[in-house]
């Protein structure tokens, strides 16, 4: 039950620190990552041609982060695709490829069929699944469970954070086995992952700024999420969350794409949400903020505490603790989930059971 919370969604966001810990800690043994009983050797990894990440909705957005980090750390080419596209496009997979399937429920029909298609073509399938014994878990070669526990709210929150955590473990493990990262770096990122639950506690404790911002802006007709690099992936998830529970139209754009069309839609009072956790891209994002503000936009930025330049550029800044940019998405998604929650609440929407949506899409 709701354990004293008004909504499952809030309860589930508040569980994020715990479930991330449950997902990460059992896989770290003597400072090394051990992915349960999944036997993937360095030789297996050297023979992989490509990795395909396939999923739907929020799980797909976790996959977009997965692509960035697996390519960055392990230097294996990764394609990420929504399952309903992948399964019908006769994908070029072969038996040297690996397919990573991501699903909270483990029952999403398009994702399940994408898995079957991959197996038919001889690929090795590793799935990142939350529900033990679900169809996707049963049919995969290897399963890495996210230990998010039952997720009741239709809008996925804690499952996403654990999907990201699992993907970071996979990316780090592959990269280290392949000799693509040094031991020190590997250990530092592991330490960073272990500290994430504490960082999310701080974000949750600090939710007043977001609540206040939502109470002032819930009448917005259309909202843009703009980010670069991992923050672009995060923007997609922030936008989906907002749409599904508050019914406000929103879109996510890569910062650099603004000038290629979207900026035409920015007018006096348009809300623009900018996650900006990537140190090497902060300056570029500040330029984007200047561009939209010059056209009258109201900007809410999500930035690291120490990033003082952002405060001068944006109208309101929600800070997150100073975490390494690589792992920042696991922390920075929580303010976006909170934003969607408070906007929906202000509008009087049914936060846990949004219209037209089912928790698990088991029919086409
Ligand atoms: O159970 P799955 O992770 O396979 O579900 C995939 C999507 O249906 C799901 O993430 C959906 O987009 C959520 N409503 C997002 O909050």
**Interatomic CA distance for residues 306 and 63, integer angstroms:** 29
Atom 7 of ligand 1: nearest residue by CA position? 57
pLDDT tens digits, 300-316: 999 999 998 888 899 99
Confidence of residue 288 (pLDDT cuts 50, 70, 90): very high
Residue 360 has pLDDT above 90, yes or no: no
CA of 61 to the centre of ligand 1 (A): 10
Quote the DSSP letter at residue 239.
Answer: H
Does residue 108 line the site of ligand 1, with CB under 6 A? yes
Query: What's the Rg (C-alpha) of the chain?
Result: 20
Per-residue confidence (pLDDT) for residue 362, from 0 to 100: 87
**Interatomic CA distance for residues 180 and 65, integer angstroms:** 19
- DSSP, collapsed to helix, strand or coil, labels residue 144 as strand
Residue 243 has pLDDT above 90, yes or no: yes
Does residue 58 line the site of ligand 1, with CB under 6 A? yes
| Cβ-based neighbours of 89, under 8 Å, separated by 6 or more | none
Per-residue confidence (pLDDT) for residue 363, from 0 to 100: 81
Per-residue confidence (pLDDT) for residue 276, from 0 to 100: 96
Confidence of residue 37 (pLDDT cuts 50, 70, 90): confident
Calculate mean pLDDT across residues 250-255: 96
Percent of the chain with pLDDT over 70: 100
Does residue 155 line the site of ligand 1, with CB under 6 A? yes
Count the Cβ atoms, other than its own, within 10 Å of residue 215.
Answer: 12
Pocket test for ligand 1, best of 361, 362, 363, 364 (most atoms within 8 A of CB): 361
Q: Are 339 and 273 in contact (CB under 8 A)?
A: yes
Atom 11 of ligand 1: nearest residue by CA position? 57
Residue 10 has pLDDT above 90, yes or no: yes
Calculate mean pLDDT across residues 249-256: 96
Calculate mean pLDDT across residues 227-253: 97
Does residue 105 line the site of ligand 1, with CB under 6 A? yes
**Interatomic CA distance for residues 354 and 362, integer angstroms:** 17
pLDDT tens digits, 277-287: 999 999 999 99
Pocket test for ligand 1, best of 110, 156, 358 (most atoms within 8 A of CB): 156
Quote the DSSP letter at residue 95.
Answer: T
Residue 108 has pLDDT above 90, yes or no: yes
Q: Are 307 and 275 in contact (CB under 8 A)?
A: no
pLDDT tens digits, 25-35: 999 999 999 99
Of 194, 243, 284, 359, catalytic:
359
- DSSP, collapsed to helix, strand or coil, labels residue 218 as coil
The verdict on whether 18 is a catalytic residue reads no
Q: Are 157 and 326 in contact (CB under 8 A)?
A: no
Does residue 211 line the site of ligand 1, with CB under 6 A? no
Percent of the chain with pLDDT over 90: 93
Residue 43 has pLDDT above 90, yes or no: yes
Q: Are 123 and 93 in contact (CB under 8 A)?
A: yes
Q: Checking phi first, is residue 356 left (phi over 0); if not, alpha (psi -120 to 50) or beta?
A: left
Alpha helices in the chain (DSSP H): 8-14, 16-24, 42-47, 57-74, 83-86, 109-120, 135-139, 158-177, 183-205, 208-217, 230-246, 282-293, 308-313, 328-346
Residue 1 has pLDDT above 90, yes or no: no
Calculate mean pLDDT across residues 178-203: 97
pLDDT tens digits, 328-338: 999 999 999 99
- What is the chain's mean pLDDT, rounded? 96
Does residue 135 line the site of ligand 1, with CB under 6 A? no
Calculate mean pLDDT across residues 15-22: 98
Pocket test for ligand 1, best of 54, 56, 162, 239 (most atoms within 8 A of CB): 56
**Interatomic CA distance for residues 332 and 279, integer angstroms:** 14
Per-residue confidence (pLDDT) for residue 174, from 0 to 100: 97
Count the Cβ atoms, other than its own, within 10 Å of residue 206.
Answer: 16
Confidence of residue 359 (pLDDT cuts 50, 70, 90): confident
**Interatomic CA distance for residues 233 and 227, integer angstroms:** 8
Q: Checking phi first, is residue 143 left (phi over 0); if not, alpha (psi -120 to 50) or beta?
A: beta
Calculate mean pLDDT across residues 95-112: 97
């Amino acid at each position: 039950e709701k354990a004293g919370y008004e909504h499952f969604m809030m309860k589930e966001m508040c569980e994020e620190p715990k479930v991330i810990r449950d997902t990460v800690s059992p896989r770290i043994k003597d400072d090394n990552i051990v992915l349960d009983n999944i036997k993937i050797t360095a030789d297996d990894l050297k023979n992989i041609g490509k990795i395909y990440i396939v999923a739907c909705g929020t799980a797909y957005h976790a996959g977009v982060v997965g692509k960035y980090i697996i390519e960055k750390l392990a230097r294996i080419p990764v394609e990420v695709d929504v399952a309903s596209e992948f399964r019908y496009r006769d994908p070029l997979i072969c038996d040297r490829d690996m397919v990573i399937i991501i699903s909270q429920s483990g029952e999403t029909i398009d994702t399940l069929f994408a898995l079957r298609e991959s197996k038919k073509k001889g690929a090795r399938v590793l799935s990142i699944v939350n529900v033990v014994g679900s169809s996707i878990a049963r049919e995969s070669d290897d399963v890495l469970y996210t230990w998010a526990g039952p997720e009741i709210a239709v809008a996925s929150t804690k499952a996403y954070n654990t999907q990201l955590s699992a993907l970071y473990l996979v990316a780090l493990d592959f990269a280290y086995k392949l000799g693509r990262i040094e031991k020190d770096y590997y250990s530092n990122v592991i330490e960073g992952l272990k500290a994430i639950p504490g960082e999310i506690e701080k974000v949750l404790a600090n939710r007043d700024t977001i609540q206040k911002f939502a109470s002032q802006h819930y009448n917005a007709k259309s909202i843009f999420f703009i980010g670069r690099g991992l923050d672009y992936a995060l923007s997609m998830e922030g936008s989906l969350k907002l749409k599904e529970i508050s019914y406000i139209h929103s879109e996510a754009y890569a910062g650099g794409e603004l000038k290629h069309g979207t900026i035409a839609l920015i007018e006096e009072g348009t809300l623009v949400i900018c996650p900006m956790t990537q140190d090497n891209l902060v300056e570029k994002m500040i330029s984007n903020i200047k561009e939209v503000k010059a056209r009258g936009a109201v900007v809410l930025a999500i930035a690291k505490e120490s990033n003082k330049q952002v405060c001068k550029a944006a109208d309101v800044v929600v800070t997150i603790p100073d975490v390494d940019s690589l792992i920042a998405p696991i922390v920075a998604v929580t303010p976006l989930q909170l934003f969607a929650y408070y906007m929906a609440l202000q509008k009087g929407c049914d936060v846990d059971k949004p219209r037209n949506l089912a928790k698990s899409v088991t029919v086409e």
